[in-house]
């Protein structure tokens, strides 16, 4: 790429999260940055888009040297608004995150961070979602920052696969203990949900979703395995959800 | 299955939509039905879950002969609440819909109807999402009803694939013109989005997302192709989004 790449930045924790600030400051070294991000936390929004109420977009003053916008939309809305309303063209690179919390395994389905990257892949824009395996608002992003730099460099230097995005997860360990990066597949695991029932001051029940993450099959070449072993992981991620191998079995249904 | 199967019903158009009523009345013939559905339209919610505010659930009086609950949650929340709070066990079958609008091709990612079915697949429950390719609230569901019956019969009679759900789309044509059912793959297509900008009475801009659906690759063995040809389509759908074929290419990145 000869000229400076145009980089669109979004996230799902909202424009004031620490993670997006770290991401902006890191990718700024590599190109011209425009930010379109949710005005509030949109965790767990998956691939949601806004169809039942109108979208608003306004210039944010959070980053004085950066063209940044906040919206009332979801992360996927932010990507669509970024391309079709703010930039009026496709960026050279789309980055999402850095998410406060892991998005390995089937979390990719629930994650607004990754859904923004998947939306970029649908548009055939090189797109990367970054997540740090630490939910705290003031998490230490120094290891993550190093991985972001490395992955952006790799992505700009190599042919990016078409209609595929990268799901990058970084373990929550001190920078010095990071063992490197592994390209691998999504682990087969899921949330074993429970609901915590409480009563409001008026005597009515309400529920908070809680749960543990449980592996269906423990395999060695998965993101979950490598994260536990101290590696950052990159899962190339696509949007064909067809279970190709069972189509022929189903054709025999009587 | 010897005893009557327990069937959990949900949707994304909300518990008062015509489509879920048709679905309930159709599946009622095959088993014991429990309904957990959103209290309002949740179209385009994808695989969103509710993490930032509490969930509420209340008994609905809409169907006097059926145990039905409405929630303020998303379709995926409904599945989780249905299994872990209402039934306290997994149902034998989970059905979602009948959606007012197509969910073929990449719509599977945006669709609350299909995300509920995918959540069922994660729980290894035989799960089916039904969608009629007609967005109108008073759509004619007679052809859809016939397909639902046929697919439920097939699903109860044959071994259901593990950790896979079915994405069933029914074209919006008169019942007599339906040519049959085709098992096939998800078409490579996406929304070519545009935003319609308007001004509110106070002079501020707001946006409605609009757009056309466009094929990336026109292929004959896809849901989009068969729907256009007058068939109902069944795409077996799974939740591994890994782009397996490119992992090795990426390992060569320098």
CATH of the domain at A98: 3.40.1210.10
Searching chain A, which residue's CA lies closest to the CA of residue B88? A194
| CB–CB contact A47 B49 (8 Å) | no
Residue B199 lies in a domain: no
Residue B21's Cβ-count burial label (10 Å; 0-12, 13-18, 19+) is middle
Task: Tally C-beta pairs within 8 A across A and B.
Answer: 213
Residue B172 lies in a domain: yes
Residue of B74, B76, B109 to mutate, interface with A, max A Cβ within 10 Å: B109
Nearest to A49 by CA among A33, A60, A38: A38
pLDDT of residue B2: 59
Residue A109 lies in a domain: yes
Q: What is the pLDDT of residues B120-142, one digit of tens each?
A: 999 999 999 999 999 999 999 99
| CB–CB contact B247 A185 (8 Å) | yes
Number of domains in chain A: 1
End-to-end CA gap in chain B = 55
Q: Name the residue among B41, B158, B184 with its Cβ closest to that of A52.
A: B41
Instruction: Write out the residue range of the structural domain in which residue B66 sits.
Output: 6-187+218-251
pLDDT of residue A207: 93
Regions of chain B where pLDDT drops below 50 = 1
Mean pLDDT by groups of 10 residues along chain A of 254 residues: 87 97 97 97 89 93 94 96 96 97 94 96 97 94 97 96 98 96 94 89 92 85 96 97 96 94
Q: How far is A212 from chain B (nearest CA, A)?
A: 13
Residue A208 lies in a domain: no
Searching chain A, which residue's CA lies closest to the CA of residue B249? A161
Which residues of chain B have a CB within 8 Å of the CB of A75?
none
Q: How far is A50 from chain B (nearest CA, A)?
A: 7
Residue B213 lies in a domain: no
Searching chain A, which residue's CA lies closest to the CA of residue B181? A251
Q: What is the CA radius of gyration of chain B?
A: 19
Three state DSSP letters for chain B: CCCCCEEEEECCCCCCCHHHHHHHHHHCCCCEEEEEEECCCCCCCCCCCCCCCCECEEECCCCCCCEEEEECCCHHHHHHHHHHHHHCCCCCEEEEEEEECCCCCCHHHHCHHHHHHHHHHHCCCCEEEEEECCCCCCCCCHHHHHHHHHHHHHHHHCCCCCCCEEEEEECCCCHHHCCCEEECECCEEEEEEEEEEEECCCCCEEEEEEEEEEEEECCCCEHHHHHHCCCEEEEEECCCCECHHHHHHHHCCC
Residue A192 lies in a domain: no
CB within 8 Å of chain A, chain B residues 72-131: 74, 76-77, 80-81, 83-85, 106, 108-110, 115, 118, 122-123
Residue A211 lies in a domain: no
Q: How far is B84 from chain A (nearest CA, A)?
A: 6
CB within 8 Å of chain A, chain B residues 21-60: 41, 43-52, 54-57
Interface check A138 vs B, CB under 8 A: no
pLDDT of residue A13: 96
* Percent with pLDDT over 70 in chain A: 99
Global confidence as pTM: 0.94
The size of chain B, in residues, is: 254
Residue B234 lies in a domain: yes
């Amino acid at each position: 790429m000869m000229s400076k790449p145009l980089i669109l930045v979004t996230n799902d924790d909202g424009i004031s999260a620490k993670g997006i600030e770290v991401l902006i400051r890191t990718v700024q070294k590599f190109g011209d940055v425009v930010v379109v991000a949710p005005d509030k936390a949109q965790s767990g929004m998956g691939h949601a888009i806004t169809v039942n109420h109108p979208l608003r977009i306004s210039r944010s003053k959070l980053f004085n040297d950066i063209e940044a916008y906040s919206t009332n939309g979801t992360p996927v809305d932010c990507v669509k608004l970024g391309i079709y309303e703010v930039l009026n063209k496709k960026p050279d690179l789309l980055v999402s995150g850095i998410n406060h919390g892991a998005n390995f395994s089937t979390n990719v389905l629930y994650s607004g961070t990754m859904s923004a990257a998947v939306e970029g892949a649908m548009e055939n824009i090189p797109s990367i979602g970054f997540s740090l395996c630490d939910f705290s608002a003031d998490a230490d992003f120094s290891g993550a920052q190093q991985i972001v730099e490395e992955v952006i460099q790799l992505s700009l230097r190599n042919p990016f696969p078409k209609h595929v995005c990268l799901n990058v997860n970084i373990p929550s360990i001190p920078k010095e203990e990071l063992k490197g990066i592994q390209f691998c597949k999504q682990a087969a695991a899921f949330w074993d949900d429970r609901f915590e029932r409480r009563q409001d001051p008026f005597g009515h029940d309400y529920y908070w979703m809680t749960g543990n993450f449980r592996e269906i099959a423990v395999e060695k070449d998965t993101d979950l395995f490598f994260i536990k072993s101290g590696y950052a992981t990159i899962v190339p991620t696509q949007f064909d959800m067809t279970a190709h191998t069972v189509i022929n079995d189903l054709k025999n249904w009587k």
